[in-house]
Structure 1
Amino acid sequence: MTARGRPGGKFTEPGRARHIPVLLSEVVEGLRPVDGATYIDGTFGAGGYTRAILEAADCSVLALDRDPNAILGSQSLKREFGDRLTVVESRFSELDLVAREQDVSPVDGIVLDIGVSSMQLDVAERGFSFQAEGPLDMRMSSSGTSAADVVNKTDEEALASILYVLGEERRSRAIARAIVKLRAEAPITTTRQLAEIVSRAVGGRRGDPQHPATQTFQALRIYVNDELGELARALSAAERCLKPGGRLVVVTFHSLEDRIVKRFLQERSGKESQGSRHLPAQSIKSEPPSFEIVNRRPLTPQKEELEVNPRARSARLRAAVRTQAPAWPLDEAELGVPAVED
């Protein structure tokens, strides 16, 4: 299970802090905020990146989040920065539409922090984590199909496909078989129920510190929230929304996300792609490059950050600068968004 950070500085109750944004200084350096500019934080969360951007320059931020709890939590920051901050409940795949509605398009920079936040992971009622008992939910928004719906209604073959493709779970068939067998006796409704089923199905992996249910929970979360499709559409929206010279910064937390971002930037910058197991190598199209890559290799957290925030260990940051070329059409399959049987 990946997360965008652990808390720091903001407290919801005594002894429990909320969130430390990952690779914060690197994100700000990647965006290079300047006075009078407008930036989009596509994943507001607890507002860590937004605050840093607003403190770095006399600029404005349009912040988006699909989680209504994040929107509710934005009020103190809005009071502090006034008209310089606008917060909207929306999927980040719609950031270009929201920017036009707010009359701020095109913008000078966009940051996207992909994955589930600590605020979601650490609240048992959200159902993202197997570490505490909670309803099997995993929805980032307040509507739509829940993880319990997927676990209890998806046929065995499709469920195995979800676990294998989105969780890269090698024992996906055994887990799906166990789930289908046990749900016939009674619905699977809690995180602990599912974690125990998975643990019994795969057994302990000798020498592996990772919980046996980690990849299953990752797969279900990604599927429920269409995270990879949303990421591809958000990258395309950013391409349409950035002005020439505008800067895009993306922080990812696992290989499926990072491969999509890497492929997107390679393709749009005219760099040759080596392909992946989800997508064979392809020739680069003839459209003029719409981005220039800033860092050829992703930036990763330094030792000092990992000591404070172990959840940052899998973070990868990629950045690019928008050119004057037109935006390319989006093809999710070409970006390596895996097709999952459903």
Structure 2
Amino acid sequence: MDDARHVPVLLDRVVDLLAPALDREGAVLVDATLGLGGHTEAVLARCGRARVVGIDRDPGALERSTQRLASYGDRFTAVHAVYDELPDVVADLGLAEVGAVLFDLGVSSMQLDLPDRGFAYAVDAPLDMRMDPGSGPTAADVLNTYTADDLARVLRDYGEERHARRIAAAVVREREREPFTTSARLVALLYDAIPAPARRTGGHPAKRTFQALRIEVNDELRVLERAVPAAIAAIGVGGRVVVESYHSLEDRLVKRAFTAATRSDVPEDLPFVPEGHEPALRLVTRGAEQAGADEVAANPRAASVRLRAVERVRPRTRPADEGVAS
């Protein structure tokens, strides 16, 4: 695989958002979703005073990115972890705080490009979908063991699939004949289970089911719900948290955490904010930023990106500063 072909979405804008927080000697960025290291490489190249701690749960991604970034020496540290373990990673490295945290959510280009990982519905592959191939149940395990009600819940909540119950019933019926092992059989079932008018809109009929299974297998939303407040708590004054989301479920969680962290704790009808009760963070982006038409044309994955950023402006003094919604 040619890593150079896998340019991260909104790369220049992301680095621009991170740079002010990294403009001091020894500033640390935690790239919480290291992947192939594209964001980290750009930060190391453009922010010469900073170093990066790259976290990924995928050992293959860590190996490839470590090779890619070897020329930066001790300015880069790779850590095998899930990104909600960020507080432990920071503590283990002896850091009291960090300058910035970056999340580029969803499945990586490398994972999509390796057929045996089972993330892509365009090729027949084992139904795995684990971001860490050595840990936890697979997508096949979910399909073959969950009750119809639990399957429908996963498809509805994580895939926003309108035909969740119909698909779940078909899966349960078909697995009695033979357990699910590869993606092609699941894709064929989805073509049969989803009514023809629905198949003609909203993209590939397998898209929502595969998204839902991937989120369930990797516990992505619950991990994110813990990770964003942890990142907010980890940054010092002037530090920033930058998040790229690729579907509404992720973006909703990020928006909620950022809103909580940038909200004052005084009643809304109070005409002024008393000293000491100002929000500890401010929004850096106005709403969610999106990719431009040229980038979307060059990289279709950019079409769904939503980019948000916050900055700490005061030291953390209250639990509300951690970005936990009440």
Contact conserved, 1:18 with 1:119, CA < 8 A, in 2?
no
Letter in 1 for 2:193: A
C-alpha contact 1:18 1:118 (8 A) present in aligned 2: no
Deviation digits for residues 161-188 of structure 1, max 9, x if unmatched?
1101111100000000000000000001
Instruction: Give the alignment's Cα RMSD to 1 decimal.
Output: 2.2
Amino acid at match of 2:155: L
Equivalent of residue 279 in structure 2, options 270, 289, 293? 289
Runs of 4+ in 1 over 4 A off after TM superposition: 329-335
Structure with more relative contact order (C-alpha pairs < 8 Å, separation 6 or more): 1
Secondary structure of 2:101's match?
strand
Query: Contact conserved, 2:28 with 2:53, CA < 8 A, in 1?
Result: yes
Q: Map 1:1-342 to 2 at 5 A.
A: 11=2, 19-32=6-19, 33-36=22-25, 37-58=27-48, 59-141=50-132, 142-204=134-196, 205=198, 207-208=200-201, 210-270=203-263, 289-322=279-312, 323-326=314-317, 328=319
Pairwise CA distance, 1:326: 3.0
Contact preservation (8 Å) 2:187, 2:206: yes
Q: Which SS does the other structure have where 1:187 is aligned?
A: coil
Identify if the C-alpha distance between structure 1 residues 330 and 192 changes in structure 2 by more than 3 Å, giving closer, same or farther. farther
Structure 1 match to 2:272? none
Q: Which TM-score applies when normalising by structure 2?
A: 0.89
Please tell me whether the aligned partners of residues 264 and 278 of structure 2 are also in contact (alpha carbons under 8 angstroms): no
Query: How many residues are paired up?
Result: 309
Bigger CA drift: 179-188 or 206-215?
206-215
Q: Offset at 1:18?
A: 5.0
1:284-332 Cα shifts (integer Å, max 9, x gaps): xx98633211112211111121121111100010000013133637999
Letter matched to residue 42 of structure 2? A
CA distance in 2, matches of 1:245, 1:332: 16
Q: Percent of aligned positions with the same letter in both sequences? A: 41
State the AA in 2 paired with 1:310: P
Q: 3-state SS of the aligned residue for 1:184? A: helix
Contact 2:119 2:129 in 1 (8 A): yes
Distance 1:199 1:46, change over 3 A: same
Look up the equivalent residue of 1:231 and give its one-letter code: L
Structure 2 counterpart of 1:115, which letter? G
Distance in 2 (CA, whole Å) between partners of 1:232 and 1:293 is 19
Q: Is the 8 A contact 2:55 2:82 kept in 1?
A: yes
| Higher-helix-fraction structure | 2
CA distance in 1, matches of 2:277, 2:256: 15
- Stretches of structure 2 that go unaligned for 5 or more consecutive residues are 266-275
DSSP 3-state at the match of 1:258: helix
Q: Is the 8 A contact 1:239 1:327 kept in 2?
A: no
Q: Is the 8 A contact 1:232 1:260 kept in 2?
A: yes
TM-score where L is the length of structure 1: 0.85
Cα deviation, residue 261, structure 1: 0.4
Once the two structures are superposed, residues 265-287 of structure 1 have per-residue CA deviations (whole angstroms, 9 ceiling, x without a partner) of 11111179xxxxxxxxxxxxx98
> Is the CA contact 2:258–2:323 (under 8 Å) kept in the aligned structure 1?
no
**1:44 counterpart SS class:** coil
Deviates more, 1:315-324 or 1:203-212: 203-212
Distance 1:326 1:100 in 2: 19
Contact 1:41/1:61, CA 8 A, preserved across alignment: yes
